[in-house]
Amino acid sequence: MKKNFTILALAVTSLIWVQSCRTVDSKSVGDFVDSVSKNFNDVVDDMQGRGEQSRQAHAEKNAPQKKESLGQEAGGGGLIGVAESLGIDRQTAKIAKSAVGLAQALQPIGLEEELTLGGSLALEVVHKFGGLYKNPALQNYVNLVGKSLADVSDRPEIDYHFAVLNTDHPNGFATPGGYVFVSIGLLRLLESEAQLAGVLGHEIAHITQKHALETLKRSKILSGMSSLTMSAMNKNEGMFNKVILEASNTLFTHGLDKDLEYEADKLGMEYAYRMGYKPSGLQEFIEILDKSSLGKTSIYFSTHPSFPDRLLGLGQLLPQYKGGDHYPVLAARYQSRVKEQLSKVNGQL
Amino acid sequence: MQIALFLLIVLGFANAGLAETLYVKKSDTKLQATDSAKSEVIAKLDEGTPVTVIKKLKRFYQVSEPGGKKGWVFKFKLTSKAPEKSSGGSGELLGALGGKQKIAARESSSGSSIRGLTPVSENHAKKKGISAEDIKAVKEMETFQVSPEEMELFLKEGRLGEYGQ
């Protein structure tokens, strides 16, 4: 009897030990499980129509929610690995939500169609926002920062293109398919590479999460359509014009849903952190924009949630990146690669 | 003896349960000899290659690839999302509605013939009065490249990515 009891006690002890090993050695496993349950709750919320929340509620909900799933011990894909592993992301769930009760719903937009829409919108950006600023050294630098971030994003498999817009307004844009723009006005305001990484990370997140496409799919323009194919876009010029107009209005005038902007902020910070930048860069940029007289001329003012609300959301996320405070900001490199470059061109040196 | 056998079985099951498979996010991902970006590159892994995780450190995972080679990979170059064998289509939507787990489609433009502005985009731009200069600018933006060597130096100098803390 005593011997059996000893065996039982040892068995229980060993099980506890094994469990603790899993917790300590594979902290990300615990994080993963935790995150799965939380992300699943998000999906359920969306499916049940509770996903549309006020800006404040969203910031409060999302910031603490990821507390355990972020940080240095984040799993293979950081936050995104969780959603990926579920197979049903927020966007898919939103489509599902809006599709419930409808016999026809727009099927996922393919890559070629995405590149066509994104290419047309990229042309609109260049046309409307000052044309491209031609400086190969500057373009090279912005591409290095941008492409490195895209490589650790959740959609590294597509090609990303980065360019600088020739306007003094501090603007940044992303169009589907991998086109990202920042203006010289924005580059002049920034003080470090970590801040640029935060800005580019935000824009890249719009592409990885297909925010513009998902918004377009829910628009009235495409209601009743079952698919948006190259064939349809080729044959029906009028429809394509309407689609581009609708997407342009969303991106340049009305803005995306606030929830999507908060998501891009969250992921922008995450991507910068993954690449090894101090994760507060995006927050610092918004603070600079908030204080700048140019802030109100920015697309970030007219089509995004308010600066204080974005700062609140990011401020709640930041403490979760343990150790990130000591990550590089690379202010000197930014100074030499951007500020001096712009000064040279302007003849100010 | 019985106790030792029991512990062996329990630990065996525990270890089997810990085996984790991740997938390479993008082609040319480096498999390195140690958890340092400066170590020897043992192999370059293709997009979608499944790897089994052996050990997890702060920014590197020790993995074994299907050919049996063991090495270290910068952890953010790996994902838990398996590559999809067939295109998503409406299955994604139906799967979501039915509560069925379905892996999101992975697409790669780098290996396909999809390049640059499509004729639809270009024609649309011309008809809208977008200048030839602006169209050329976007085309140049699309073809602008940074070499792998440049990127490596950029990361190394900035102590970023696999060169990070």
Three-class secondary structure assignment of A142-206: HHHHHHHHHHCCCCCCCCCEEEEECCCCCCEEEECCCEEEEEHHHHHHCCCHHHHHHHHHHHHHH
Of B53, B80, B158, the CB nearest to A84: B80
Return the structure tokens found at A50: 């509770």
Terminal Cα-to-Cα distance of chain B (whole angstroms): 46
> With contacts defined as CB-CB under 8 Å, which chain A residues touch B146?
140, 143-144, 147
User: Which DSSP state fits A29?
Assistant: H
Comparing CA positions, the residue from A273, A256, A258 lying closest to residue A305 is: A258
Q: Tell whether A6 is covered by a domain.
A: no
In this complex, is the C-beta atom of A244 within 8 Å of any C-beta atom belonging to chain B?
yes
Could you report the per-residue pLDDT of A172-220, keeping only the tens digit for each? Answer: 999 999 999 999 999 999 999 999 999 999 999 999 999 999 998 888 7
pLDDT the model gives residue A239: 85
Could you report the per-residue pLDDT of A104-150, keeping only the tens digit for each? Answer: 557 788 899 999 999 999 999 999 999 999 999 999 999 999 999 99
Percent of chain A with pLDDT over 90: 49
Q: Tell whether A8 is covered by a domain.
A: no
User: What is the identity of the amino acid at B76?
Assistant: F
Q: Tell whether A305 is covered by a domain.
A: yes
Contact B126, A119 (CB under 8 A): no
Q: Tell whether A9 is covered by a domain.
A: no
Q: Tell whether A4 is covered by a domain.
A: no
pLDDT the model gives residue A236: 82
Provide the shortest C-alpha distance from residue B164 to chain A (in Å).
Answer: 6
Comparing CA positions, the residue from A176, A189, A220 lying closest to residue A297 is: A189
Q: Alpha-carbon Rg of chain A, whole angstroms?
A: 23
Domain carrying residue A165: 18-347
Could you report the per-residue pLDDT of A27-84, keeping only the tens digit for each? Answer: 333 333 333 333 333 333 333 333 333 334 444 444 433 333 333 333 333 333 333 3
Rounded to 10°, the helix A193-208/A136-151 angle is 60
In this complex, is the C-beta atom of A210 within 8 Å of any C-beta atom belonging to chain B?
no
pLDDT the model gives residue A46: 36
Q: Is the dihedral of CA A82, A85, A89, A90 positive or negative?
A: negative
Q: Tell whether A1 is covered by a domain.
A: no
Could you report the per-residue pLDDT of A292-307, keeping only the tens digit for each? Answer: 888 888 888 788 889 9
pLDDT the model gives residue A237: 83
> With contacts defined as CB-CB under 8 Å, which chain B residues touch A209?
none
Of B6, B79, B141, the CB nearest to A76: B79
Alpha carbon distance A11, B43 (integer Å)? 42
Q: Tell whether A38 is covered by a domain.
A: yes
Of A96, A144, A326, the CB nearest to B151: A144
User: Is a pLDDT exceeding 50 seen at residue B132?
Assistant: yes
Provide the shortest C-alpha distance from residue B1 to chain A (in Å).
Answer: 11
Comparing CA positions, the residue from B143, B138, B161 lying closest to residue B151 is: B161
Q: Please name the residues between 37 and 76 in chain A that touch chain B, using a CB distance below 8 Å.
A: 72-73, 75-76
Mean pLDDT in residue range A97-103: 42
> With contacts defined as CB-CB under 8 Å, which chain B residues touch A147?
146, 151
CA A13 vs CA A86, B3, B5, B51, B61: distances in Å: 33, 12, 15, 32, 29
Query: How many of the other CB atoms lie within 10 Å of CB of A236?
Result: 12
Phi-psi region of B106 (alpha: psi -120 to 50; beta: other; left: phi over 0): beta
User: Is a pLDDT exceeding 50 seen at residue B162?
Assistant: yes
User: Which DSSP state fits A279?
Assistant: T
Terminal Cα-to-Cα distance of chain A (whole angstroms): 89
Could you give the 3-state DSSP secondary structure of residue B40? coil
Alpha carbon distance A120, A213 (integer Å)? 13
User: Is a pLDDT exceeding 50 seen at residue B31?
Assistant: yes
What's CA B116's distance to the chain center, in Å?
A: 23
Of B18, B101, B134, the CB nearest to A87: B101
Provide the shortest C-alpha distance from residue A306 to chain B (in Å).
Answer: 31
Report the chain B residue with the minimal C-alpha distance to residue A114. Answer: B118
Q: Total domain count for chain A?
A: 1
Chain A with chain B: Cβ pairs closer than 8 A? 233
Q: Tell whether A316 is covered by a domain.
A: yes
> ipTM surpassing 0.90, yes or no?
no
In this complex, is the C-beta atom of A277 within 8 Å of any C-beta atom belonging to chain B?
yes
**Stronger pLDDT, B146 or B3, i.e. the higher one:** B146
DSSP bridge partners of B41:
B32
